């Protein structure tokens, strides 16, 4: 079991380098957008990974509410943290791509806007975890996660309708994806998933150890006779 982690790290590193090579060299250059389109191979897999992690966060939170399992709480914490990082990547690479292609940094496009709101909700989730006094954090955070999930359909519908009322810059979309591009995209996503998993796993182990240390310290403090303190 101990060997699995380093092996996984190596596999992830190899996959990431391979995916990078694929994205920069193998994938064909897009006809109208040029090389800037290659950021797509980071943008989209990050988005998919982020949403997967947010889903995991919700599931873990619900499990925590029912079972009060510490493990579920740690999974929720870890998936939210890593999810926010990937979501940040999405929000940063999006404008970098948009600027040369659409001529603007930002547009109140459906996907962009809902990603931004998701990001805001999960940042507030992490803030809550940071600021609540320990012992209550897990419970409060799990509740907020459920509220965040309740919010998702409303975000979606409100922005969808908002968009239909206000004209927006034309976004080159539709059109089918070159199969070679699709393959590179999937390779990149696979690499990102491995990467996310490795990060989550090490963060998970760190958090488990941290909590064990805290508990041991608390017990030790009281085990000492008063005079020794």
Partner 1 sequence: MTSTQTAPSGSPIIVVTGLIKQFGRFAALRGVDASFDAGRLYAILGDNGAGKTTLLRTLAGLNRPTRGSVSMLGSKDLRKVCQQYGYMAHPSLLYDEMSGMENLRYFARLYGIADDQRCAAAIRAVKLDPELARPVGQYSQGMRQRMSLARALLHDPAILLLDEPFSNVDVRSAREMVGLLKQMRDGGKTIFVVTHQATLLEGAADEFVWMEAGQIVDRTPGLHRPGESPVPGQSPASSTEAR
Partner 2 sequence: MSLTRATLAKDLRLEWRSKDAINSMLFFALLVVVIFSFSFDPTAEESRHIAGGLVWVAFLFAAVVALNQTWARELRNQVLDAYRVSPAPANALFLAKAFGNFIFVIVLEALMTPLFIIFYNLRALGPAWQLPIVGALGTWALVVNGTFFAAMSLRTRSREIMLPLLLFPISIPAVLAMVEATSSILTGEYSAKFWIVLLAAYDVVFTTGCLFLFEIVLNAE
| Residue list 107-136, contact with partner 1 (CB under 8 A) | 133-135
Binding to partner 1 by residue 35, rule CB under 8 A?
no
With respect to partner 1, which residue has the nearer C-beta, 35 or 215?
215
Q: How many residues bind partner 2 (CB under 8 A)?
A: 30
Binding to partner 1 by residue 1, rule CB under 8 A?
no
Q: What is the DSSP string of 177-192?
A: PPHHHHHHHHHHHHHH
DSSP one-letter code for 24: I
Phi, psi of 109 (to 5 degrees): -75, 155
Radius of gyration of the chain (CA): 21
Binding to partner 1 by residue 11, rule CB under 8 A?
no
Question: For residues 106 and 95, is the Cβ–Cβ distance under 8 A?
Answer: yes
- Rounded Cα–Cα distance for residues 175 and 178 (Å): 9
Binding to partner 1 by residue 214, rule CB under 8 A?
yes
Token pair of 208 as six digits: 């488990």
With respect to partner 2, which residue has the nearer C-beta, 48 or 156?
156
DSSP one-letter code for 26: I
With respect to partner 2, which residue has the nearer C-beta, 132 or 202?
132
Minimum Å distance from CB 150 to partner 2? Answer: 5
- Rounded Cα–Cα distance for residues 204 and 125 (Å): 18
Which residues contribute to the site for partner 2 (CB under 8 A)? 65, 117, 120-121, 123-124, 127-128, 131-133, 135-136, 139-140, 143-144, 146-148, 150-151, 154-155, 157-159, 161-162, 165
């Amino acid at each position: 079991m101990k060997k699995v982690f380093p092996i996984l790290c190596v596999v992830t590193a190899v996959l990431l380098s391979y995916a990078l090579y694929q994205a920069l060299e193998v994938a064909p250059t897009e006809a109208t957008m040029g090389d800037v389109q290659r950021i797509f191979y980071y943008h989209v897999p990050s988005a998919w990974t982020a949403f997967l992690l947010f889903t995991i966060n919700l599931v873990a939170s619900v499990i925590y509410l029912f079972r009060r399992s510490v493990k579920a709480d740690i999974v929720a914490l870890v998936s939210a943290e890593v999810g926010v990082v990937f979501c940040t990547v999405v929000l940063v690479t999006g404008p970098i791509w948009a600027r040369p292609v659409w001529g603007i940094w930002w547009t109140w496009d459906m996907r962009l806007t809902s990603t931004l709101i998701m990001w805001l909700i999960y940042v507030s989730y992490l803030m809550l975890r940071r600021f609540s006094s320990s012992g209550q954090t897990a419970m409060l955070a799990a509740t907020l996660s459920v509220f965040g999930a309740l919010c998702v359909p409303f975000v979606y519908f409100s922005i969808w309708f908002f968009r239909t009322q206000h004209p927006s810059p034309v976004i080159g979309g539709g059109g089918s994806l070159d199969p070679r591009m699709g393959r590179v995209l999937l390779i990149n996503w696979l690499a990102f998933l491995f990467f996310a998993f490795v990060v989550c796993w090490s963060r998970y182990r760190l958090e488990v150890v941290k909590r064990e240390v805290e508990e041991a310290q608390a017990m030790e403090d009281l085990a000492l006779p008063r005079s020794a303190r």
